[in-house]
Amino acid sequence: MSIIEKALNKSNNEEIEVNTILTCKSKVTNEDNISVVTDDIINTNKVTPNLNDDKNIVVDIDWKRLSDLGFAAPGSLNTEAIEEYRNIKRPLVNNAFGNGHNGIARANLILITSSLPGEGKTFTAINLALSIANERDKKVLLIDADVARPSISKVLGINDSPGLIEYLDGADINFSDIIIKTSIPGLGVIPAGKLHDYSTELLSSNKMALFVEELSNRYPDRIVIFDSPPLLAATQGEVLARLVGQVVLVIEAEKTMQNVVMESVAKLATCDVVLALFNKTKRNMDINYYGYGYGYGQYAH
Ligand SMILES: Nc1ncnc2c1ncn2[C@@H]1O[C@H](COP(=O)(O)OP(=O)(O)OP(=O)(O)O)[C@@H](O)[C@H]1O
Ligand SMILES: [Mg+2]
């Protein structure tokens, strides 16, 4: 029995048919599906976004505060968390930069999502971004795409500033107006921006598709991490999942029911690579299967 099967069994104490969702997948089978959509969009709109980030704001992040909140911040004494995120990022980075990128389109774009609120998306997104940015030769762009309930800026202590929504909504807002540099040279942040009644439409717009396409093509050496809303609470997560090469489905271990996870998996059916991340596992629960409190599972559709 695999880690994910064990975990799901533990998560709801029911007999489950895990084979329907939990098989291993490393190769793209439905790439055409996704590229048709974006190619279409690109053919109808040839304006390439200018992703020049020369003029931008630099924000000093309070790493000590983050460390106190349990994040794997630079210089933090949370050595276990630092080690955990080293392991968690490895398959994602390998997929993004491995030889031939494993045939995964836009593998450097990673969406962090979950079925329900509070499962740990933002915590995971920030920790992964910190962990990757700490590798001297890697750059990370962390985008708060949870545009209805943004929290990256709040957690990182970034003041209100224009973000993804303003960029998508306004013709006169450039990439350089929304990207925020941090005191880690390799870490940039794009806040969600203001609340907007049509945020779902903006995220599904041509401009968003061109933006992510350009991020992937122009910065193949950069990992872009999107924090997103829960899949079962809003349609935006599903929309975003179609734009990226890799999806991390955060599952609150022992809490989120298997039928709920299955529903999310169905929503991710067009995604090339989905990694299930068991979060908030109890350290004394089953150390052999969960290591230091996290576990990964991979599945196909
Ligand atoms: N592995 C973890 N260890 C310790 N605390 C965690 C862990 N994962 C999440 N948390 C904490 O749980 C709470 C919820 O996490 P987080 O905000 O990341 O969830 P979310 O999925 O982004 O929620 P939302 O759907 O509301 O955006 C936060 O206080 C966070 O710090
Ligand atoms: Mg969140």
| Sequence ranges of the domains in the chain | 3-11+39-299
Handedness of CA 33, 92, 121, 15 (dihedral sign): positive
Q: Which residues partner with 187 through β-bridges?
A: 140
**Which numbered atom of ligand 1 lies nearest the CA of 124?**
18
Distances (CA, A) of 102 to 5, 10, 19, 33, 108: 25, 32, 24, 18, 12
Instruction: State which residues of the chain have pLDDT below 50.
Output: 1-45, 284-295, 298-301
| Closest atom of ligand 1 to CA, residue 294 | 1
**Contact between residue 104 and residue 91 where contact means Cβ atoms under 8 Å apart:** no
This model's pTM is above 0.85? no
Q: Among the residues of 108-205, which ranges form H helices?
A: 121-133, 152-156, 164-169, 175-178, 199-203
Alpha-carbon 200 to chain mean position? 17
Q: How far is the CA of 44 from the centre of ligand 2 (A)?
A: 34
Instruction: Report which protein residue has its CA nearest ligand 1's atom 11.
Output: 120
Q: Which long-range contacts (CB under 8 A, 24 or more apart) does 34-38 make?
A: 34/105, 34/242, 34/270, 34/272, 35/105, 37/209, 37/242, 38/209, 38/213, 38/243
Tens of pLDDT, residues 100-112: 556 888 999 999 9
CA atoms of 106 and 96, how far apart (whole Å):
8
pLDDT of residue 104: 86
Q: Confirm or reject: Cβ of 236 under 6 Å from ligand 1.
A: no
Class of 3-11+39-299 in CATH? alpha beta
Decide whether any atom of ligand 1 lies within 6 Å of the 150 Cβ. no
Q: Which amino acid is at 254?
A: E
Q: Is the minimum distance from the CB of 114 to ligand 1 under 6 angstroms?
A: yes
Question: Does the Cβ of 278 fall within 6 Å of ligand 1?
Answer: no
CA of 121 to the centre of ligand 2 (A): 5
pLDDT for the residue 136: 82
Ligand 1 atom showing the smallest separation from residue 250 Cα: 21
Q: State the distance from the centre of ligand 2 to the C-alpha of 124, rounded, in angstroms.
A: 9
How many angstroms separate the Cα of 140 from the Cα of each of 198, 220, 234, 275? 28, 11, 26, 19
Return the structure tokens found at 137: 């030769």
Which is nearest to 298 in space by CA: 26, 8, 79? 26
Whose structure tokens read 């396409």? 213
pLDDT digits (tens, 9 = 90+) for 137-171: 889 999 999 999 999 999 999 998 999 999 999 88
Rounded Cα gap, residues 255 and 243, in angstroms: 29
* Pocket perturbation via mutation, ligand 1, pick of 123, 128, 279 by most ligand atoms within 8 A of CB: 123
- Whole-number pLDDT of residue 99: 62
* Closest residue CA from atom 16 of ligand 1: 120
Q: How far apart are CA 5 and CA 153, in angstroms?
A: 35
Using the mean position of ligand 1's atoms as its centre, give its distance from the Cα of residue 259 in Å. Answer: 21
